[in-house]
Structure 1
Amino acid sequence: MDIFKNFKNKNDKVVIDENVNKQINTVKKFSSLIVLGAVIAVGIFSSIYSVSEQEQAVITQFGKVVSVETAGLHFKLPFIQQRTTVNTTTQGMPIGYEESGTNDPIEDTSAYEDSMMITKDFNFVNIDFYLEYKVVNPENFLFNTDDPLNTLKNLTKASIRSTISKYLVDEVMTTAKGKIQSEVKNKLISEMEKVNIGIEIVNISIQDAEPPTAQVIEAFKAVETAKQGAETAINNANKYQSEKLPSANADADKILKEAEAYKENRIAEAEGQVARFSETYKEYKKFPLITKKRMFYETLEEVLPNLNIIITDGKTQSIYPVDKFNK
């Protein structure tokens, strides 16, 4: 009886195991269907998207742009294609200050450095600009540079500085604001066409222009003092030059004239000696011995003018002074 009882229990266990396996398989199938359904739902949800009137969507597939979609409802391939939305409305960028969300701008160190400009007359001015722009080519905006807005800001600051440096400080703060805005805008548009990052300049305007802070004003006063000292030194040098230059010119002219006269005298003297030598040479060729003696006596007269000359043959005892024969 025990044997039959044990056999019955084994059959019941087998039946229970089969039921458990069936339940497990059913749960696995159900779970797979849920996962598959979830994947399909996610794929369908990510495939259908909408673009607002203020945006454009750039669709890429394996890193390559396949389309740029405007406002409306659109479809893309799930998991293969990616969507990047770009705002195409007119946006603003402060230059020289930070927007606080209220009517008052927030000045910080970086913004202050952006607003500090040097004018044509080497003055400092603290000037703020507000730039308005919009994205007109989302593909170039996303892929032609790593940071298009930073590129835009740097080009704007460069255009502003190069323009402000052409104007006097009074013009920057008063009468030339309109010309400065127009010149900066045209210059910035030209630079943006070169980089081609898909951004269009709408407008740029001066928000405020004022003298720099007290610390910078002190530095500026020091610069002005140095400039005045330099001008004083230059004026004194010019005065000294105006006083000394005529005298120096007169002295130089006198020296030149004396040199010219000395030159003419030496030339005339040399020419006279040449003529004299030529005449002497002509006589020498006629009477060489007599000419030699005459030249010898003349030379003695020049060298020893105050000596008495005595001529002797070396044999006679008498001495005959030459001066007696001359008398």
Structure 2
Amino acid sequence: MAWNEPGGNGKDPWSGKGGDQGPPDLDEVVKKLQDKFGGIFGGGKPSRGDGSIGGGSGPGSKSIGFLVGIAVLVWLASGIYIIDAPERGVVLRFGAYHETTPPGPHWHIPFPIERVIPVNVDQITSFRHKAQMLTRDENIVDVEFTIQSRIQDAADYLFQDRDPDKTMRDATETAVREIIGKSDLDFILTQGRGAIADRIKVGAQGLIDDYKAGLMITSLNMQPAKPPEQVKSAFDDAIKAREDKEKLENQAEAYANDGVPRARGEAARRIADASAYKDRVIAEAEGDASRFLAILKEYEREPKVTRERIYLEAIESMLGQTSKVMLDTAEGGGNSLMYLPLDKLIQGVEQGRVGRGAASSNTESSRAPVETTKFRNVDRTRGVR
């Protein structure tokens, strides 16, 4: 029967007194404990009746205090920890998440109150995902992806999801099925690989964030998709035809980029030539008109003199460039006096001698004055007769 139940007579099992005596004295309990420990270590004496403790300052009490102090210091020092650069420290207090510490030295309340879990947030993990997917145009295609990820939030990675790696795999597969199911087979097999990979990465990351898995996809690469084996040859021909089309388009574009500027330059050059020709013809026409008007004025004042001057200028312009002159000796020209330019004839003969030792082109050019001289001599002889 309990001491405070009816019939227990209100006796306190600790003090042996009745229940009406009140709770035990705390000072008396402490004195009893001190007496027991003092007797065990042999450094103290039983407490006196007046409440004082004898021998409390003995060597045993000092040793106990020193050992207790060292133990406390060691316990406190065990709370010092260092987090490396690629890690984050997740601090747990009484088993619950408390905080996340950055790299560097830190201190936490030692065990069993707090403990620290270091998590490497820079380590890259990768996995492959390969499956057959159904496209929007109801074709089956074999796709393969390589996904790389790292821990983004250490606390979420440890406590928010039971298996964050599996969550990421499931989220990636869900995003792949959704994006591939909304795309045509031709787009997947040709130029849509990069766009599809980006869309899958965004969709998978959104699902991972919704589940608070604490992971971040750093890269998602899509390998070249393959059609089913039954129609692989036909798709290979289609892909080759598209590649030829792109090649021809690039060649045509390169030709256009080269031909258009060249044609524009040629057009500009011809326009400039035409403009210069126009200006030259106009200037010549204006000059001829001005010269004709000037001659007309002179002709109106002195017609005979002007006619003779025009005749002489015409004869000079025509005969000045010729090396042969034919004279009519039958009609009173027998007594005509011939002018012989001896200095030029001698100069031509000397040039012919010097040019004999030169190249064939120079030799041919040097013979012209000599032949001209011979023809003039023959003509002169005919004129004298």
> Fold conserved (TM > 0.5)?
no
Length-normalised TM-score, structure 1: 0.45
Greater strand share, 1 or 2?
A: 1
Instruction: With the length of structure 2 as denominator, give the TM-score of the two structures.
Output: 0.38
